């Protein structure tokens, strides 16, 4: 397709086909199809090439967005895939799950009256279609270095690190307690946002690049000691998944679930993976109340709808505009039938032998610290519920063996790193993703893994060449 200046004047922003809400709630497939070549080229051609690509700067991995949009417009798909991977080891994942409205698309110059280019959907198209046509990262010219690195955690941080190591000729061995790669991409984010076949394909591609996976392996103090002894370096991409405990009276009643264990058990159930200790849940025909307002809460409400709940409500202590997650997810949840109760704070979970409801109080802006809320006296009411899912965010999950290995933590329990590349207080250990930042985003975990992988490679290969 030829470049036509000001194409955005004639061609409106368009997303790929969206499944109607009443159809998509019947299953777990992604709610958007992919672009066809023609649609991707047409939407790419809306890019102004404004010369000041704020989208690139707002993208945490600094993707060269206008450049790959131009390649898509010209039908040069494999070059676009090569370029997309130069900055982002998991472009097809970020294209699906990034909150683009807050990142690249939120800062597109066309937002001033013409609506942003559909950057995320085009990124997804580039990689899905290139893989479908047989494109793969070409590492044939990369000499092997004889170096080996142990990567703990197969989430986006660990996978991005492994990608960069493989591209430098270093053998990356990735260890994870789960049976599949992906971390929260496979055991957290539901399939209607990211179908599990996406991670299966990515696993195949990484294995073809030489990455070795050791799955179903818990890295404890003994194994960590062996890995530190036998490998040239270690990367910790272990995440931060300890739920924040609100300490609500009644939270131990049967029928009260914690968000992530529920999502993990559901993901395993869908894959047919049996796992002792998974929380039992039955939502069909029940009234489900989700407490919290982030992306995890949105994944819970939308999963509850698909599990056949009779009524799904989300209660959040602030207003809609204050919700920490992507506005897009709230819109989808509402379209799928979820009810929202804003400015409501839970005080207690009610019930004798199992949960029967939650007592909530109304909140209003407090005159104290900016953004804080206070309870409205006398506003308490009890909302009936058969199942309550608590989703109050996550705390760090430091392993007991980290301090013994000489890994310093900050005051909140995150791994303390020096500089963007994730060097820790141990000379052989790097870290990145949620275990350093606290619960954040896929794309920031990818950034950290990419930077750490590059830094480890530089360190090991410099040592090798100076021998």
Shortest reach from residue 343's CB to ligand SF4, in Å: 31
- Our finding on whether 61 is near ligand FAD (CB under 6 A) is no
Q: Which residues, numbered 86-125, are part of the site for ligand FAD (CB under 6 A)?
A: 97-98
Of 71, 108, 119, 154, the residue at the interface with ligand SF4 (CB under 6 A) is 119
Shortest Cβ distance from residue 114 to ligand FAD (Å)?
26
- Choice between 76 and 271, CB closer to ligand FAD: 271
299 is a contact residue toward ligand FAD (CB under 6 A):
yes
Which residues is 351 bridged to in the sheet?
355
Residue 237 binds to ligand FAD (criterion: CB under 6 A): yes
Q: Which entry of ligand FAD, ligand SF4, none binds 263, CB below 5 to 8 A by partner kind?
A: ligand FAD
Q: What does 59 interact with, of ligand SF4, ligand FAD, none (CB < 5 to 8 A by kind)?
A: ligand SF4
Query: Which of residues 155 and 351 has its CB atom nearest to ligand FAD in the complex?
Result: 155
Among positions 121-180, residues that touch ligand FAD (CB under 6 A) are: 152-158, 175-178
> How many chain residues bind ligand SF4 (CB under 6 A)?
15
Considering only 45, 103, 127, 263, the residue that binds ligand FAD (CB under 6 A) is 263
Per CB under 6 A, the segment of 17-25, 64-72, 185-193, 266-274 that binds ligand FAD is: 185-193
Candidates 57-65, 326-334, 381-389, 425-433: pick the segment binding ligand SF4 (CB under 6 A): 57-65
**100 interface partner picked from ligand SF4, ligand FAD, none, CB below 5 to 8 A per type:** ligand SF4
218 contact, one of ligand FAD, ligand SF4, none, CB 5-8 Å limit per kind: ligand FAD
154, 213 contact by CB (below 8 A): yes
Q: Which of 239, 255, 292, 293 binds ligand FAD (CB under 6 A)?
A: 239
* 3-class DSSP string for the chain: CCCCCCHHHHCCCCCCCECCHHHHCCCCCCCECCCCHHHHHHHHCCCCCCCCCHHHHHCCCCCCHHHHHHHHHCCCHHHHHHHHHHHCCCHHHHHHHCCCCCCCHHHCHHHCCCCCCCHHHHHHHHHHHHHHCCCCCCCCCCCCCCCEEEEECCCHHHHHHHHHHHHCCCEEEEEECCCCCCHHHCCCCCCCCCCHHHHHHHHHHHHHCCCEEEECCCCCHHHHHHHHHHCCEEEECCCCCEECCCCCCCCCCCCEEEHHHHHHHHHHHHHCCCCCCCCCCCCCCCEEEEECCCHHHHHHHHHHHHCCCCEEEEECCCCHHHCCCCHHHHHHHHHCCCEEECCEEEEEEEECCCEEEEEEEEEEECCCCCCCEEECCCCCEEEECCEEEECCCEECCCCCHHHHCCCCECCCCCECCECCCCECCCCCEEECCHHHHCCCCHHHHHHHHHHHHHHHHHHHHHHHHCC
Minimum CB separation of residue 74 from ligand SF4 in Å reads 19
CB of 393 to ligand FAD, least distance (A): 9
**In whole angstroms, how close is the CB of 217 to ligand FAD at the nearest point?**
6
Contact pick of 442, 455, 456, 460 for ligand FAD (by CB under 6 A):
442
Among 25, 40, 45, 65, which residue sits at the site for ligand SF4 (rule: CB under 6 A)?
65
Q: Which residues contact 23 (CB under 8 A, 6 or more apart)?
A: none
Site of interaction with ligand SF4 (CB under 6 A) = 59, 61, 63, 65, 88, 94-95, 98, 100, 103-104, 119-120, 123, 443
Site of interaction with ligand FAD (CB under 6 A) = 97-98, 152-158, 175-178, 183-184, 188-189, 193, 218-219, 237-239, 241, 260, 263, 295-296, 299, 399, 433-434, 439-443, 445
């Amino acid at each position: 397709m030829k470049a036509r200046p000001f194409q955005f004047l004639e061609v409106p922003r368009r997303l790929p086909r969206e499944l109607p809400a009443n159809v998509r709630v019947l299953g777990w497939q992604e709610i958007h199809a992919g672009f066809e070549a023609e649609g991707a080229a047409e939407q790419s051609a809306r890019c102004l090439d404004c010369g000041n690509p704020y989208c690139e700067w707002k993208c945490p991995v600094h993707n060269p967005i206008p450049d790959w949009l131009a390649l898509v417009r010209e039908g040069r798909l494999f070059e676009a895939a090569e370029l997309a991977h130069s900055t982002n080891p998991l472009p097809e994942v970020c294209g699906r799950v990034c909150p683009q409205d807050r990142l690249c698309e939120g800062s597109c110059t066309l937002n001033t009256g013409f609506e942003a280019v559909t950057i995320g959907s085009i990124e997804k198209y580039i990689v899905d279609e290139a893989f479908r046509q047989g494109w793969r990262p070409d590492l044939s010219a990369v000499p092997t270095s004889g170096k080996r690195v142990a990567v703990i955690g197969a989430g986006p941080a660990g996978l991005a690190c492994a990608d960069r190591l493989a591209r430098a000729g270093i053998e990356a061995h990735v260890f994870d307690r789960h049976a599949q790669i992906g971390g929260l991409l496979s055991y957290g984010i539901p399939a209607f946002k990211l179908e599990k076949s996406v991670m299966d394909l990515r696993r195949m591609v990484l294995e073809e690049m030489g990455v070795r996976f050791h799955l179903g392996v818990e890295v404890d103090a003994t194994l960590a000691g062996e890995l530190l002894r036998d490998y040239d370096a270690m990367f910790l991409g272990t995440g931060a998944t300890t739920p924040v405990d609100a300490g609500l009276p009644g939270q131990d009643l049967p029928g009260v679930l914690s968000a992530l264990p529920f999502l993990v058990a559901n993901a395993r159930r869908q894959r047919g993976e049996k796992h002792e200790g998974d929380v039992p849940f039955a939502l069909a025909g029940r009234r489900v109340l989700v407490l919290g307002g982030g992306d995890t809460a949105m994944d819970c409400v939308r999963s509850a709808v698909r599990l056949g709940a009779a009524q799904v409500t989300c209660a959040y202590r602030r207003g809609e505009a204050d919700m920490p997650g992507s506005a897009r997810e709230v819109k989808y949840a509402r379209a799928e039938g979820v009810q929202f109760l804003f400015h409501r704070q839970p005080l207690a979970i009610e019930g004798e032998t199992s949960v029967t409801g939650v007592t909530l109080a109304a909140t209003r802006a407090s005159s104290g610290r900016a953004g804080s809320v206070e309870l409205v006296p006398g506003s308490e009411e009890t909302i009936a519920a058969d199942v309550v899912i608590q989703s109050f965010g996550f705390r760090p999950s430091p392993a007991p063996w980290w301090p013994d290995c000489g890994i310093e933590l900050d005051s909140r329990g995150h791994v303390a790193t020096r500089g963007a590349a994730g060097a820790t207080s141990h000379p052989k250990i790097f870290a990145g993703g949620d275990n350093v930042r606290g619960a954040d985003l896929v794309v920031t975990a990818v950034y950290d893994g990419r930077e750490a992988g590059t830094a480890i490679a530089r360190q090991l290969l410099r040592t090798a060449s100076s021998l």
